Structure 1
Amino acid sequence: MNNTGSITVLQKYKRKQLNQRSQTLMYIASGSIFLLAITVIGTLVGDIAITTNFTQKNFLPHMAHPFGTDWLGRDMLARTLKGMSISIYIGLFASVISAVIAAVLGAAAATLGKKVDAVITWFIDLVMGIPHLLLLILISYALGRGTFGVVVAVAISHWPVLTRIIRGEILQLKEANYIKIAEKLGQSKMKIVVKHMIPHVFPQFLVGLVLLFPHAILHEAALTFLGFGLPPEQPGIGIILSESMKYLSLGMWWLALFPGMVLMTTVLLFDVVGGSLRKMIDPHSAQE
C-alpha cells in the first residue's frame, strides 16, 4: 500500500512537472510568434503608419480601420503596430545590453576579490537608491534623448537586480566541491569561470533577460510619453499615447485604448513567460 501510494504521488508529481514544462513551452512559443508578428508587420507598414488622409479624420473603429483613425486620418492599427515594433527593437537591444552588464559585473564581484566586490556592491546600491524614472530621464536627457539616449538609459538602469542574483549564485557555487577541486588542480580563475560557472548561472541569466525585456519596453514607452525619449516624428507607443491625451476630452477614446492594450498585452505576456521559465528552471519554485 505504501509503495503503491508513493508511486501514485510520484506519477502525479511527474505529470504536474510535464504540464508545467508544456505550459512554459506554450508561453514561449506564443510570445515568440506574437513578437515576430508585430515586429515584421510593424516594419512592413512603415509608410502606412505616417500617411495622412484628411478625408478619413477621426473615424471610429470599423472594418476598414479596426483601431480607428486619428486627427490626421492616419490608420491607428498601422501606427500601433509600427510603434510597438520600434518599442520591441529598443526593448530587446537595451535588455540584452543590460543583461550582459549584469553578468559581467556579477561574475567580477564574486570572483575578483573583496575590494572589487565592495566597489560593485556600492555601485549597485547607488543605482538602486536613485528613483528609477528619474534616473532614466537624467541619462536620456544627458545623451540628447532620441533612440540612442533611450537605449542607453534603459540599459544602464536595469542591471542591478540581475547582477545581485548572478553574484549570489557564483558565491554559492565557489563553495562547491568540484570548484575547489578544480582550483587545487591548478586551473585558472578564467577557465573555472568559463567552464564551470557560466553554464551553471546561464539559466538565471536567461530568465533575467526575459524578465528585463517587458520592463525595458514599458520604461521606453514611459520615457517617450513624458517627452524625454523618441522624437515626435517616430510613431513610438509613447508618442502615440502622449498625443492621444490631447484628444481624450473630445471623446476620441480609441486613440489611447488600443495602443495601450497592445502595449500591456506585450508586457504581461513576456512577464508570464519569464515567470514560467523561472519556475521550470528553479527547483524550489518548481515544487510550489
Structure 2
Amino acid sequence: MSNNSGSLTQLALQKFKKNFWGVLSFWLIVSIGLVSVFAYVIAPDNSQNANQMHLSIHSKSPGFKVTLLCFPSELDIEQSFLSQFFYGKLKTDTEIPITNYKIEKQELVYTEYASDGLIGVDKSISISRFPSNDYTAFIKEKTFVFGTDKYGRDLLSRVLVGSRISFFIGFIAVFISLVIGIIMGSIAGYYGGKIDTLIMWFINVTWSIPTLLLVIAITLALGKGFWQVFIAVGLTMWVEVARVVRGQIISAKEMQYVTAAKALGFNDFRIITKHILPNIMAPIIVISAANFAAAILIESGLSFLGIGAQPPMSSWGAMIKDHYNYIILGKPYLALIPGFCIMILVMAFMLIGNALRDALDVKT
C-alpha cells in the first residue's frame, strides 16, 4: 500500500514538472520568499522599515542619482546581527542630499540639493566632526533604481521590505485557516447529525458576511497592527477549507478502509488523522494555494484602506494608497510598481494552484 502511495506521489510530481507555468510559478514564489527573508541584506536602504527620508529628493524618477553627505552620530547603539537581519539597522546618522562641496579653512562647505531648478542653501561643518578627519568616507553617490517615493525614501528598498508582509501573510493566514477549517470540517463531516447541522449553520453565517467587512471588524477588535492583520485574515478564510474537508470526509468515511479501521477498534481521532485526512489532502492543497492569493489581496486592500500594516512599516498595499494620486500627476510608477508586484505574486499562487489541481487529479 505504501508503494502504491509512493508511486502516485511520484506520478503527481512528474505531471507537475511537465507543467511549465506551474514550475515557473514555483520558482518565482521561492525567489520572492528568499527576497523577503533577506530583504534587509539586499536592500540599498537597510534602515528599519527602509524609512530613511530625504524630502528634498521626493518623487524622483527611476535611475535618479544624487550625492549624499552623511553626518556621523555620536550615539553608540549596540544591535545584534539577528536584530539587524530581521528588523533592519538602527541608524542615527543624518544623510543630506547635496549638489557640490569644497574645503575651506578646515571646514566642509556644501550646497544642499534643491529640486525644480532652485539653488540650495550653502552650509558648513567642521572636518573635526568626522572620524580621523576623513570626510571623503562620508560622501557617496547613490542611485535610486526605482526612484524615490513622496517622502524621499528609496522605492526599491521599500518594495523589497514590503514583500515580507505580502508574502508571510499568506503562510500565516493559510495556516490559521487550515487548523480551524480542518478541525471544524472533520467534526462536521465525520459525526454528522446535529453536530453537522450546528457547525454548518455557523459556517453559513460566517460565509454570509462580506470578507472585507469581517476582516475590518476583527482588525478593529484586535487593534491595528502587523500581527492583528495576519490573524484577522486567517480567521475569515477557514470556512472554505471547512466546507471542502466536510464534503471529502462525508465521501471518505463510507470507504472500506474506514470500515476496517473501525472494526480494528481504532478511535475516531486516529481514524480521522491517520486514515481519512491523508487521503483527502489533494483538494485541501489546491484550495490552500488559492487562499494564499486571496490573503495577499485582502491584506493589500486593508493596507490601502489604512487599517492594515501601519506606517512607517512598508507594505505594497500602503504604497499604492500613498501614491495612487500620482497616476494622474505624471508619475504612475510610484503606484504601478507595488501594484505590479502584487499582481505577479497573486498570479504565481493561482498558477501553481491550477498546476497542483491538474497534477493531483486522479482521473488524468
Asked if TM exceeds 0.5, the reply is yes
Q: Aligned residue for 2:319?
A: 240
Q: Report what 2:288 is aligned to.
A: 209
In the alignment, what sits opposite 2:229?
A: 150
- How many Å apart are 1:270 and its aligned residue? 0.9
Residues 162-171 or 177-186, more deviating: 177-186
Deviation readout 1:55-96 (Å, 9 max, x if unpaired) = 432211127323221122211111111112222122221111
Q: Does residue 197 of structure 2 align to residue 200 of structure 1?
A: no
Match of 2:163 in 1: 84
Amino acid at match of 1:233: P
Distance in 1 between residues matched to 2:167 and 2:16, nearest whole Å: 27
Helix, strand or coil at the partner of 2:354 = helix
Structure 1 position 28, deviation (Å): 5.5
Q: Is 1:53 matched with 2:57?
A: no
**Deviations for 1:145-201, whole angstroms, at most 9, x for unmatched residues?**
212321121011111112111111111011111211221232221221122112112
Cα RMSD, aligned residues only: 2.3
- Matching residue of 1:7: none
**Shift in Å at residue 142 of structure 1?**
1.5
User: How far apart in 2 are the matches of 1:264 and 1:189?
Assistant: 43
Whether 2:50 is the aligned partner of 1:26: answer no
| Structure 1 residues 215-256: Cα deviation after superposition (integer angstroms, max 9, x where no partner) | 111101101111121112111112111111243343221110
**Could you report, residue by residue, the CA deviation over 1:259-286 in whole angstroms, capped at 9, with x for unpaired residues?**
10011100101110111111111224xx
- The question of whether the paired residues in 2 share the 8 Å contact of 1:98 and 1:156 is answered with yes
1:102: Cα distance to partner?
1.0
Match of 1:35 in 2: 32
Matches within 5 A, 1:131-280: 131-280=210-359
CA offset digits 1:12-69 (Å, max 9, x no partner) = xxx9x95654327624641342232331342433417211224432211127323221
SS of the aligned residue for 1:199 comes to: helix
Q: Which has the higher contact order (CA 8 A, sep 6+)?
A: 1
Higher helix share: 1
- Whichever of the two has the greater Rg, that structure is 2
**Gap runs ≥5 in structure 2:** 1-10, 65-142
Please name the residue that 1:125 is paired with.
204
Instruction: Provide closer, same or farther for how the CA distance between residues 271 and 115 of structure 1 changes in structure 2, counting only shifts above 3 A.
Output: same
Identity %: 33
1:145 counterpart SS class:
coil
Provide structure 1 residue ranges, at least 5 long, that are not aligned to the other structure: 1-14
Greater shift in the superposed pair: 50-59 or 262-271: 50-59
More strand by share: 2
Aligned residue identity for 1:40:
V
* SS class of match (1:247): helix
- Write the distance in 1 (CA, Å) between the matches of 2:245 and 2:338: 35
> Partner of 2:18: helix, strand, or coil?
helix
Give aligned pairs, total: 271
Q: Would the alpha carbon gap of residues 31 and 120 (structure 1) be closer, same or farther in structure 2, given more than 3 Å must change? A: farther
